[in-house]
């Protein structure tokens, strides 16, 4: 998840520079790369759970009414995340506008012609893979080694580091990670955070990919202005 899609974390941390993607083949491989990376996180989560005897299966709501309630809880949990997303992408603060420009550029470079079904696949894999790894395996095991609250806190920091596109992005990802971790801590269920994470990523990706085009001069101009001010 963050102020922007949690599935996007290819911008160099704590920098205004974005990784260059010069050739057409690299641009068209963004979707495949995202699928491989996010799917790989699910595999890593299962492997870690097996190595450290973490019962992932027990962290899912059973079929029937409990599952329906968990899905509804996840949808409801998406609402505050989307509210913060809307406030941040419409902010006039230079730091937030620059971050928005960076993420716009990244999405258009990685997914120049991605369809909504493709975004849905990436978001679903991100929701499942990242929640299995961070909340399912890591938070559970770290909580066993210490306390549930300490496990939640450490996992939230690790989640922020995994999305550290900038200091702001890191801070927001930590907060979102803590929120998703609290859902697991409170309800002992991975379904709600998976739904919230995946739905948020999908809506954020769909919105940003169809918003106004990335202004190519923003990054260089903002960097020049910063150096001039200093």
pTM over 0.75: yes
- Phi/psi-derived region of residue 134, left when phi > 0, alpha when psi is between -120 and 50, beta in every other case: alpha
Residue 9 has pLDDT above 90, yes or no: no
pLDDT band at 24 (very low <50, low <70, confident <90, very high): very low
pLDDT for residue 97: 85
pLDDT for residue 12: 41
pLDDT for residue 69: 97
């Amino acid at each position: 998840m963050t102020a922007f899609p949690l599935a996007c974390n290819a911008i160099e941390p704590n920098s205004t520079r974005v990784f260059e993607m010069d050739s057409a083949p690299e641009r068209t491989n963004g979707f495949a790369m995202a699928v491989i990376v996010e799917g790989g996180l699910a595999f890593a989560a299962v492997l870690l759970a097996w190595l450290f005897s973490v019962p992932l299966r027990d962290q899912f709501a059973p079929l029937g009414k409990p599952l329906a309630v968990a899905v509804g809880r996840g949808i409801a949990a998406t609402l505050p995340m989307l509210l913060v997303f809307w406030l941040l992408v419409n902010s006039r603060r230079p730091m937030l506008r620059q971050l928005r420009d960076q993420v716009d550029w990244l999405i258009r470079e990685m997914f120049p012609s991605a369809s909504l079904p493709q975004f849905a696949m990436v978001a679903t894999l991100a929701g499942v893979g990242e929640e299995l790894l961070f909340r399912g395996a890591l938070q559970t095991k770290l909580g066993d080694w210490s306390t549930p609250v300490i496990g939640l806190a450490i996992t939230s920091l690790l989640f922020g580091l995994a999305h550290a596109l900038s200091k702001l992005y890191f801070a927001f990802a930590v907060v979102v990670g803590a929120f998703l971790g609290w859902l697991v801590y409170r309800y002992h269920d991975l379904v709600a955070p998976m739904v919230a994470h995946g739905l948020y990523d999908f809506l954020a990706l769909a919105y940003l990919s169809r918003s106004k085009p990335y202004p190519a001069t923003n990054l260089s101009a903002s960097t020049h202005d910063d150096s001039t001010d200093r």
